[in-house]
Structure 1
Amino acid sequence: MIDPLSEVVRLLHPRAVFANIISGKGSWAVHYSDYGHPSFCIVLEGSALLTVDGHVPITISAGDFVLLPTTPAFTISSFTPAPPVHLDPRQVAGSTAELRYGDPDGQPDMRSLGGSFLFYCANPGLLVSLLPIVVHVQGSKRLSQLVQLVGEESRDQKPGCEFMLSRLVELLLVEAMRSASAGSAPPGLLRGLGDERLARALEQMHEHIERSWSVVQLAEIAALSRSAFFERFTRLVGMAPMEYLLAWRMAVAKELLRNSALAVSEVAERVGYGSSSAFSVAFSRHVGQPPSLFAQRRSGGGD
């Protein structure tokens, strides 16, 4: 059976792009301006205060993993007030030097590894639609082990470390998404997967995307009445069952058109359309351009 979460990660094609290591001692604060792209922070040592604009400050400690799907402006600081140093994340991205704030001497009170994700896919907004603005994962043994490995790789800089770091952060992303499915995520796929009955229907929709599903059939899989299934699905996933199925079909179709040599008719069949014309109408309405034009642009890298 196909795992919907794995399917989402496969479509995202995530790659980690590391920015820098930040450490601080004494009284210090760093304010990053709005970035607009997914980023993460892994706390390697000690603890600090993270304040994302519009949200209550949270304490982050060694072993914690923080994911910001859109990375609004935020401040990371000591627990004692200090005038912040203002940084543009675009300017520091790619730097390999450790940035030290506060007291420059001695063991830091906090040391973290921060970076961003790139997604080689036709649906970069997919992650944003699945996760809350701030994902803070703590107390996870699996995540702690991954964080420890990331820390070792970033510190030792052995041959192959870039490959290793990229793969490790992919795993961190999956673990973070798993943690959000328990109820902290907004309406979306993760909330649906956190519901045992809806998860059954979602798994079948993803595994057999080509089937002509009806709400009645999906309700039977979930062992719910049609009305109860429709209400529950809409409330937790954030859209009606057929609307979700359409959105997923279009996400898969965009990926196939962008990264395969399949003809439009073959893509139409793969995602459950009996004719190319019906698929073209649905795709054009959903994406804003016909599938043939979308496929032509794949070599140019546009969306």
Structure 2
Amino acid sequence: MSDPLSEVVKFLQPQALLANLISGRGNWAIRYSEFGLPSFCIMLEGSCLLAIEGQEPTTITAGDFILLPTTPSFTISSFTQTTPVCFDPNTVAGRKEELRYGEQEGPADMRSLGGSFQFNCTNPDLLVSMLPRVIHVRGSERLSQLVQLVADESIYEHPGSEYILSRLAEMLLIESMRSTTTGTAPPGLLRGLGDERLAQALKAFHNDIAYPWTIIKLAKIAALSRSAFFERFSKTIGITPMDYIVNWRMELAKELLQKDKAISEIAVLVGYGSSSAFSVAFKKRFGQSPSRFADEPRKDY
């Protein structure tokens, strides 16, 4: 059976950019403006407060892993209230030396390893919208090991580092998403995979995207009535089953168009009975024909 998490990561095409050591001492607060790119952080020692814009502050402690798929503005601070110092994440990204918050001298109260990467797909917005705004995993030794490898490759720039970093970025995404497939996740793919019945339908679809799926067929796999499946899927994933199917077929079509595959072949691979039917559906979604899209493969839609 195909793995939906692997497909998300395959389509996003993450590429690791950097990782650097961050520490803090005394009373401090740092306000970062919106970054846009996905970023991650793992706490190595101590603890601090993280306040994502629009959400309640949360305590992160040693062993915690944070992934922000779009990195909105946020504040990170010690536990004593103080006026935040504003940082531009673009000026921090890429630095090799340790970044110190608060008192510059003396042993750190908090140490973390943070970094960012970019998604190299044509339009990541649809896929990112299926992920939680914040992924917070507590005490994962595997994630800690992966982030340390990212740091080593970023700092020392070994031969082949670019390739290794892209693979490590994929592993970070999958490992963090594995830990978030629960009923407590917000509506989206991860929450759906945490639902035993919906997960069966999702895996069946991803195993054969070209199959002529209907709500009735998917509901049968999930052992639910048509109406119960539709309601449960829409509430859990955040979109209707057929919208989900169309979204994934179009994402696969875009990937195949970038690989110079014939439109007639792509139509079959993504579940359309003819090239004309596929072209109509593609143009309706993206505003232009598949052939024109193929000529401008890096433009956002």
TM-score, normalised to structure 2's length?
Answer: 0.92
CA distance in 2, matches of 1:21, 1:169: 17
Distance apart, 1:169 and its partner CA: 3.6
Is the contact between residue 44 and residue 147 of structure 1 (CA under 8 Å) also seen in structure 2?
Answer: no
Q: What residue identity is the alignment partner of 1:43? A: M
Distance apart, 1:165 and its partner CA: 4.6
Residues 239-289 of structure 1 show CA distances to partners (whole Å, capped at 9, x for unaligned) of 22112111110111111112x120111111110111111001111111222
Q: Which residue of 2 aligns with 1:91?
A: 91
Q: Which runs of 5+ in 2 are unaligned?
A: none
Bigger mean CA deviation after superposition, 2-11 or 88-97: 88-97
- Superposition pairs for residues 1-303 of structure 1, below 5 Å? 1-18=1-18, 20-150=20-150, 157=156, 159-160=158-159, 163-258=163-258, 260-298=259-297, 301-303=298-300
Residues 10-29 of structure 1 show CA distances to partners (whole Å, capped at 9, x for unaligned) of 11111121253221111112
Distance apart, 1:183 and its partner CA: 2.2
Bigger mean CA deviation after superposition, 184-193 or 266-275: 184-193
SS of equivalent to 2:296: helix
Distance apart, 1:143 and its partner CA: 2.6
SS of equivalent to 2:51: strand
Shift in CA distance, 282/163, structure 1 to aligned 2, threshold 3 Å: closer
Is the contact between residue 183 and residue 195 of structure 2 (CA under 8 Å) also seen in structure 1?
Answer: no
Distance apart, 1:109 and its partner CA: 1.0
Distance apart, 1:151 and its partner CA: 5.6
SS of equivalent to 1:274: coil
CA distance in 1, matches of 2:149, 2:47: 19
Is the contact between residue 44 and residue 148 of structure 1 (CA under 8 Å) also seen in structure 2?
Answer: no
Is the contact between residue 130 and residue 185 of structure 1 (CA under 8 Å) also seen in structure 2?
Answer: no
CA distance in 1, matches of 2:132, 2:213: 29
Bigger mean CA deviation after superposition, 7-16 or 127-136: 127-136
Identity within the alignment, % = 62
Residues 212-242 of structure 1 show CA distances to partners (whole Å, capped at 9, x for unaligned) of 1111111111111112111111111122211
Q: Which runs of 5+ in 1 are unaligned?
A: none
Is the contact between residue 49 and residue 79 of structure 2 (CA under 8 Å) also seen in structure 1?
Answer: yes
CA distance in 1, matches of 2:212, 2:232: 21
Is the contact between residue 20 and residue 92 of structure 1 (CA under 8 Å) also seen in structure 2?
Answer: no
How many residues were matched structurally? 299
Bigger mean CA deviation after superposition, 210-219 or 169-178: 169-178
Distance apart, 1:138 and its partner CA: 0.4
SS of equivalent to 2:95: coil
